[in-house]
Amino acid sequence: MLQNTHLLTNDYNPAIINEWDFGEVKRFMETREGLGPEEVEEMLEEYRRYLHLTVMHPDKIFPMSADVDPIWHAHLMFTKNYRALERAVGKEINHRPALTEEEVRQLSVPYNDNLLPLYERHWGMPPSKYWKSEGQVCVCNNVCSGSTD
């Protein structure tokens, strides 16, 4: 869960994401992806933290790690739930995958300069199981009016 709420950069209420119903996403990851409940819960906690960062820091780009990205993909498949979450936090959270190796390399700068330091500021050192510098594969554009594509 979100700590250091005095660091929030807007009027965002962290309880929205902390208490969001990800039940369908959990079941999908367990039944269709074959992950155990504990692993799904760990991954979901990291996804929640990623969502917190994208909402709290709308001026930043946050590349997603390959180890958390599968749960984001699962959530996107439950479009009603995903759109409802976006409405609840008052922000579109766009998923834009890196399409080339060059794009993946370019994402290392915002990954190392934005995601990792802000993660550490809010929750302590990111677990290497989920946040590896070579693991970024997607980027949240953080554009409230839509994708910059």
The phi and psi torsions of 146 (rounded to 5 degrees) equal 135, -175
- Dig out the tokens for 48 from the structure: 């929640």
More confident call, 133 vs 35: 35
Q: How many CA atoms lie within 13 A of 64 on its CB side?
A: 29
Each residue's pLDDT tens digit, 83-135: 999 999 999 998 888 888 888 888 888 988 999 999 999 999 999 999 986 65
For residue 147, pLDDT over 60 is answered with no
**Residue ranges of the alpha helices (H) in the chain?**
15-18, 23-31, 37-56, 69-77, 79-89, 101-106, 108-110, 116-123
Question: What are the C-alpha distances in Å from 32 to residues 25, 35, 100, 118?
Answer: 10, 8, 28, 32
Each residue's pLDDT tens digit, 71-84: 999 999 999 999 99
Q: How many CB atoms lie within 10 A of CB 115?
A: 27
- Dig out the tokens for 31 from the structure: 């039944």
Identify the pLDDT of residue 14: 94
Identify the pLDDT of residue 105: 83
Identify the pLDDT of residue 2: 45
Tokens 């367990």, residue? 30
pLDDT band at 140 (very low <50, low <70, confident <90, very high): low
